[in-house]
């Protein structure tokens, strides 16, 4: 892909470290693209990557949870920094595994240990953590299978709609919001008895419904200190006007207009600082990204969820705004050296539009040939794609993320959608309303 999307403030390629990115989504493609501004291609590796990876890095073939293969690659390529993209390896203890492997003695890892990733891996743990450290979040109760009848009773404490969450990782599908009490009670049976989420549903969390606009915020942490990255709004539903099924995210916008300095100060004081202090108090050495899924309830931020990684497709609008030497900032976070640092970013509006396969988030076909424009003003991040010879084929639900930058939402939308129409594949599906609700 040729792109004219340039940021004059990106640092020159002068640092000598070697970085391995783990993951295969649009988020990891955006990391590879951004890190490639700071690092020569021969020093950047990604595994397993996707159909776009070869543009920026050496693409390796192992999965992000194959810890043995990862340790072998760290030794073979003398990797200095491992950037862990998705949550699975983190929740499964990649940090602990690699720290105990002699082949990784000199490796720095960006991503928390299992005791930090559990903030994402268990909704109950996250709620207890917030409760203990006075972090604003919805009222809740948690229940195991043998407490199904108490859970059904507990629903009556709240007004509809009812929010029921599987405790564990459920590929973004574990949260349901239902209008009727009977539906909510039936859902509890499906989770506990029919095991619709497998072991992730051995426990559930029932929450009070909060109404407001959502925003994703990100802190890059070094264990003690943190820097805030730009915020983003994610469009989670498949259909226009936020209708239909929940997806991993169909588009994003950054910056988010309602995040003014008053709101931001509340986020820092009430949420980010207490979270960082809570981690210290609980002896959780968190080196990596904390993703705060927030909701703006009448001007007051509350936490919907924590994730222990960057968002996808939030990363695709956040990273193009970041200036300076990002690769070094990541290394500093992984090395505990963020004290006194800031993340500098521009104020341009970035919009990402996801091109998905027809049928997503339910079943869809793969293997459709993708035609990309030769020259394009937008960035085209690959997600569910693979390369076969010279061809790029669809290989997942979310196929590409098209990101464009502008001085207004209108300008960014115009550039992004122009590129959207220049990309072709059978079944191309997207939302045409990304960013429209944020126009003033």
Task: Summarize as ranges the residues that interact with ligand GLY (CB under 6 A).
Answer: 234, 248-249, 307, 311-312, 314
Least Å distance, CB 123 to ligand AMP, is: 7
Contact with ligand AMP (CB under 6 A): which of 207, 222, 231, 312? 207
DSSP string, 62-104: S-TT-HHHHHHHHHHHT-SEEEE-SHHHHHTTHHHHHHT-GGG
Nearer to ligand AMP, 184 or 405 (CB): 184
Nearer to ligand GLY, 40 or 171 (CB): 171
Q: Is 214 in the site for ligand AMP (CB under 6 A)?
A: yes
Only one of the segments 187-195, 208-216, 225-233, 341-349 lies at the binding site for ligand AMP (rule: CB under 6 A); that segment is 208-216
Contact with ligand AMP (CB under 6 A): which of 80, 167, 305, 332? 305
DSSP string, 166-206: ESS--TT--EEEESSHHHHHHHHHHHHTS-TTGGGGSEEEE
Nearer to ligand AMP, 174 or 223 (CB): 174
Least Å distance, CB 50 to ligand AMP, is: 24
Cα of first residue to Cα of last residue in the chain, in angstroms, is 33
Query: Which residues, in sequence order, are CB contacts of 165 under 8 Å at separation 6+?
Result: 123, 174, 175, 176, 204, 205, 206, 207
Nearer to ligand GLY, 58 or 307 (CB): 307
Nearer to ligand GLY, 48 or 251 (CB): 251
Q: Is 236 in the site for ligand AMP (CB under 6 A)?
A: yes
- Among the listed residues 102, 148, 142, the one whose alpha carbon sits nearest the alpha carbon of residue 126: 142
Least Å distance, CB 402 to ligand AMP, is: 22
Query: Which residues, in sequence order, are CB contacts of 397 under 8 Å at separation 6+?
Result: 247, 248, 356, 357, 360, 361, 364, 384
Nearer to ligand GLY, 167 or 234 (CB): 234
> CB under 5 to 8 A by kind: which of ligand AMP, ligand GLY, none does 319 bind?
none
Least Å distance, CB 305 to ligand AMP, is: 4
For residues 366-392, one letter each, b for 16 or more C-beta atoms within 10 angstroms of the residue's C-beta and e for the rest, the string is eebebebbeebbbbbbbbbbbbeeeeb
Least Å distance, CB 103 to ligand GLY, is: 30
Contact with ligand AMP (CB under 6 A): which of 19, 22, 118, 138? 138
CB 29 within 8 A of CB 52: yes
> CB under 5 to 8 A by kind: which of ligand AMP, ligand GLY, none does 370 bind?
none
Cβ-based neighbour number of residue 335 at 10 Å: 15
- Among the listed residues 332, 316, 306, 286, the one whose alpha carbon sits nearest the alpha carbon of residue 379: 316
Q: Is 304 in the site for ligand AMP (CB under 6 A)?
A: yes
Least Å distance, CB 311 to ligand GLY, is: 4
Least Å distance, CB 209 to ligand AMP, is: 4
Contact with ligand AMP (CB under 6 A): which of 2, 9, 209, 424? 209
Residue with structure tokens 């397993």?
Answer: 48
Nearer to ligand GLY, 187 or 237 (CB): 237
Q: Is 175 in the site for ligand AMP (CB under 6 A)?
A: yes
> CB under 5 to 8 A by kind: which of ligand GLY, ligand AMP, none does 163 bind?
ligand AMP
Only one of the segments 9-17, 207-215, 277-285, 381-389 lies at the binding site for ligand AMP (rule: CB under 6 A); that segment is 207-215
Angle at 324 between CA 323 and CA 329, to 5 degrees: 110
Q: How far apart are CA 347 and CA 230, in angstroms?
A: 9
DSSP string, 287-347: EEEEEEEEEEETTEEEEEEEESS--TTTHHHHGGGB-B-HHHHHHHHHTT--TT----B--
For residue 116, the Cα-to-chain-centroid distance in whole angstroms is 16
Q: Which parts of this chain interact with ligand AMP (CB under 6 A)?
A: 138, 163, 165, 175, 207, 209-210, 214, 236, 293, 304-305
């Amino acid at each position: 892909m040729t792109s004219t999307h340039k940021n004059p403030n990106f640092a020159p390629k002068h640092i000598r470290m070697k970085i391995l990115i783990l993951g295969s989504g649009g988020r990891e493609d955006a990391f590879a693209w951004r890190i490639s501004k700071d690092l020569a291609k021969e020093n950047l590796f990604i595994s397993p990557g996707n159909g776009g990876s070869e543009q920026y890095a050496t693409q390796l073939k192992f999965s992000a949870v194959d810890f043995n293969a990862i340790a072998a690659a760290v030794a073979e390529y003398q990797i200095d920094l491992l950037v862990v993209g998705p949550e699975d390896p983190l929740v499964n203890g990649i940090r602990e595994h690699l720290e105990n492997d002699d082949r990784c003695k000199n490796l720095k890892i960006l991503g928390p240990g299992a005791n930090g990733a559990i903030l994402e891996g268990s909704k109950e743990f996250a709620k207890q953590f917030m409760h203990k450290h006075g972090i604003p979040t919805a009222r809740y109760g948690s229940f195991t299978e043998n407490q199904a009848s108490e859970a059904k009773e507990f629903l009556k404490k709240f007004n509809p709609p009812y929010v029921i969450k599987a405790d564990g990782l459920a590929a973004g599908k574990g949260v349901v919001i239902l209008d009727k009490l009977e539906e909510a009670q039936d859902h509890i049976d499906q989770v506990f008895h029919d095991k619709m989420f497998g072991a992730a549903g051995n426990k559930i969390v029932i929450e009070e419904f909060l109404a407001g606009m959502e925003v994703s915020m990100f802190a890059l942490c070094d264990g003690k200190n943190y820097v805030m990255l730009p915020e983003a709004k994610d469009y989670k539903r498949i259909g226009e006007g936020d209708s239909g099924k929940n997806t991993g995210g169909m588009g994003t916008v950054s910056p988010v207009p309602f995040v003014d300095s008053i709101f931001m100060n509340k986020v820092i004081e009430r949420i980010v600082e207490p979270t960082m202090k809570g981690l210290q108090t609980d002896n959780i050495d968190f080196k990596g990204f904390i993703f705060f899924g927030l909701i703006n309830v009448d001007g007051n931020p509350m936490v919907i969820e924590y994730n222990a990684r960057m968002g996808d497709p939030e990363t695709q609008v956040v990273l193009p705004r970041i200036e300076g030497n990002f690769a070094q900032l990541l290394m500093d976070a992984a090395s505990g050296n963020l004290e006194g640092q800031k993340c500098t970013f521009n104020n341009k509006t970035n919009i990402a539009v996801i091109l998905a396969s027809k049928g997503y988030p339910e079943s869809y076909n793969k293997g459709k040939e993708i035609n990309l424009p030769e020259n394009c003003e937008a960035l085209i991040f690959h997600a569910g794609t693979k390369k076969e010879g010279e061809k790029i084929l669809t290989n997942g639900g979310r196929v590409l993320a098209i990101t464009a930058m502008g001085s207004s939402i209108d300008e960014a939308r115009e550039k992004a959608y122009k590129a959207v129409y220049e990309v072709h594949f059978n079944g191309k599906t997207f939302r045409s309303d990304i960013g429209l609700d944020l126009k003033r």
